Amino acid sequence: MNLQPDISPVPAGAPARAGARRECAIVARGLKKTYAATKKSPAKEALKGIDLEIPRGSIFGLLGPNGAGKSTFINILAGLVNKTEGSVSVWGFDIDRNPRQARASIGVVPQEINVDVFFTPKEALEIQAGLFGVPKAERRTMEILRTLGLEDKADAYVRMLSGGMKRRLLVAKAMVHAPPILVLDEPTAGVDIELRRQLWDHVLELHESGVTIVLTTHYLEEAQELCDRIAIIHNGDVVACEPTDKLIASLDRKTLMVTPLAPPAAAPDLAPFEAELKPDGRLAIPYRPSKAQVAEILERLSAAGVRVRDLSTVEADLEDVFLELTYNSGR
């Protein structure tokens, strides 16, 4: 497969501070968006001055509760919403100074399935390529359809495609101009696990060919599994932006699961640790890895007369991090 994006160096006309930005696919500085008031609703500050750097080559997750500002951010990148303040560069192109190049550097897969049912996938891609001004000789319609597993549906009517195929067609449409960045806004909302897996296989193939992937998703396990970096947006602010592992480790929370030799009648007193007796007879003992060693918990268990048959540790996951950051911050 040869769907290499055009990953040429930062061009002339790019920001003067290109050095720091060269490695970034997307840079936002002090980005604000306020939707104007209408007769029915007051003005809404959807983005409150966010700073964000999305490295080239990453699979970057943009997470946040409903209304956090994710779509607003994506729509600004795509040139669909005008920012109120701040700066954004896409693949080194400032969206104000080089809007055409910035837009050409990004392919956006929208949340809604909005494919025209009267065209075949092949025609849909040709039309899209035309809209982006891709010369006929440079179009890679069949190659893209092949990458998205739609080659044998090239001449089928779109209305005959399954929901999963239609979503893949949206990804194909977003790739017609070979952008180095692919943005997917909730690509798997309401899609069953098998279809999600298929979509991800194809998107991962694009990533392996060099495309930087940015996605928003409500499925936290999906983000944890796929994304190497994650930003959490809450109420228009970026409340975390870290490599996924680091983000999860930052919670500094683990649970030691202990299977006692004899199931206890009640949770033992392990102060300062707290044990919870699970219905299956195991003990769940949360601890902070930076503050306590498993050995200390084992000593407390021994002192309480609990003999251990088996033990394991359970890490916090992205859901815990997400809840902590979005629940406790500024509600």
Ligand X SMILES: Nc1ncnc2c1ncn2[C@@H]1O[C@H](COP(=O)(O)OP(=O)(O)OP(=O)(O)O)[C@@H](O)[C@H]1O
Residues that bind ligand X (CB under 6 A): 35, 44, 46, 64, 66-72
C-beta separation of 200 from 226 below 8 A: yes
Q: How far apart are CA 108 and CA 171, in angstroms?
A: 8
Residue closer to ligand X by CB (options 70, 177) is: 70
Q: How far is the CB of 133 from ligand X (least distance, A)?
A: 28
Indicate left, alpha or beta for 245 from its phi (over 0: left) and psi (-120 to 50: alpha): alpha
Q: Among 163, 191, 166, 27, which residue's Cα sits nearest to residue 109?
A: 166
| 3-class secondary structure, 221 | helix
Q: How far is the CB of 1 from ligand X (least distance, A)?
A: 32
Q: How far is the CB of 46 from ligand X (least distance, A)?
A: 3
Residue closer to ligand X by CB (options 275, 325) is: 325
Residue closer to ligand X by CB (options 8, 38) is: 38
First-to-last C-alpha distance (Å) of the chain? 47
Q: How far apart are CA 239 and CA 246, in angstroms?
A: 14
Q: How far is the CB of 217 from ligand X (least distance, A)?
A: 10
Residue closer to ligand X by CB (options 14, 318) is: 318
Residue closer to ligand X by CB (options 64, 187) is: 64
Q: How far is the CB of 247 from ligand X (least distance, A)?
A: 18
Q: How far is the CB of 309 from ligand X (least distance, A)?
A: 45
Residue closer to ligand X by CB (options 67, 163) is: 67
Please, which contacts does 171-174 make with residues 24 or more away whose CB atoms are closer than 8 Å? 171/109, 171/199, 171/202, 171/203, 171/206, 172/121, 172/125, 172/144, 172/145, 172/147, 172/148, 173/109, 173/115, 173/124, 173/125, 173/128, 174/107, 174/108, 174/109
C-beta separation of 202 from 148 below 8 A: yes
Residue closer to ligand X by CB (options 35, 273) is: 35
- The answer for residues whose C-beta is within 8 angstroms of residue 175's C-beta and 6 or more apart is 3, 107, 144, 147, 182, 206, 211
Q: How far is the CB of 63 from ligand X (least distance, A)?
A: 9
